[in-house]
Amino acid sequence: MRLLDWALEVFARGICVPRSFTHPYLAERVDGLWVTRDAPRRRGRYRREEWFAHGGTPEQTVRIVKRHTRGQFAICAICAAGESDAPIRAGYRALDYRLGFTEPVMVHHLRRIPRIAPPTTIVRVLDAELADQVNTAVRRRQILPEHLTPDAPLRMYAALVDGDPVGWVSSAAVNGATWCANLYVKPEFRRRGIGRSLMCRMLRDDRRFGSRLAVLAASHTGALLYPLVGYKQIGTLYSYTPRRR
C-alpha cells in the first residue's frame, strides 16, 4: 500500500472515532473514494459528509459524490507533496466549488522520537475525574468512560499545572497506525514546550502499542511545530464545497 493511500485511510477512519461519540460515524470506500458520514439514522438530520479524493479529475470526483451522497458534503481533494495543485484549483473553480481551507497532511514513521525534558507533568488520562476536567475545559466530550483503560484504542494525554489541565492531545489506533487530533495548549501556557512534550509522550505510546505510522492534518500553525518532533508533510488537503445558489 502506498504511503499516501495508507495515510488517507487512517485519516478517514481516525476522524470517525470522536465523531461517533453521539451517533455512529463511519468510513466507507465508495467507487474508489473514502467517505466519512453518519450511519443510517431514524431521526435527526445527517451531518455533512466528507469525501476524500486523490487522483482522478475534479469532474470524475464530483460525479461519484453526487451519485452517492445523502445530502450536504465537502470534497477533500488531496495534492501529494511534489504535485502541482493547479489542476485541482482550476477544476473545482470551473465546477463552481468554493475552497474553504487547506491543511497539510503529515506522517511520522515512529523511528526517531525526540527526548525532551517536559516543562510540566504529562499524563495519560485514565481516570474519570481528569477526563471530566478535560471535557469541561474543551466544552465537549473528548474521551468516554470506555477509553479509560490501558488498552483502549483511543488514548488522551494531558499537561497538568497544579493539577489542572492546560493542554491535551489524543491518539486513535487505526489499521496498524494512529490518528492524532485535538492538540491544544491554553494561550497563557504556550511557548514553553508543552505541545512538544505532549506529542512526544503520545508518539512513544503509539510505538509501544504497535503503531507503525502516525498521521495528522495540521493547522498552518501546527505545521511549524510537528516537524520539530519528526513529522513530515506528504500532501495538502483542499476542502471544497458547492456554492449555494
Name the CATH superfamily, with its identifier, for domain 121-212. Answer: Gcn5-related N-acetyltransferase (GNAT) (3.40.630.30)
The per-residue pLDDT for 126 is 96
The per-residue pLDDT for 245 is 60
Q: Residue 144: CB partners within 8 Å, gap ≥ 6?
A: 21, 154
Q: Residue 231: CB partners within 8 Å, gap ≥ 6?
A: 106, 107, 108, 214, 216, 218
The per-residue pLDDT for 244 is 75
The per-residue pLDDT for 139 is 85
**What amino acid is encoded at 168 in this protein?**
W
Residues 41, 43: Cα–Cα separation, whole Å: 6
User: By C-alpha distance, which of 106, 47, 78, 127 is closest to 238?
Assistant: 78
Domain ranges of the chain: 3-108+235-242, 121-212
Residues 163, 230: Cα–Cα separation, whole Å: 29
**What amino acid is encoded at 209 in this protein?**
F
The per-residue pLDDT for 108 is 98
Blockwise average pLDDT, block size 10, the chain, 245 residues: 90 95 94 96 91 95 96 96 96 97 96 94 96 90 92 96 95 95 93 95 97 94 90 97 83
The per-residue pLDDT for 141 is 85
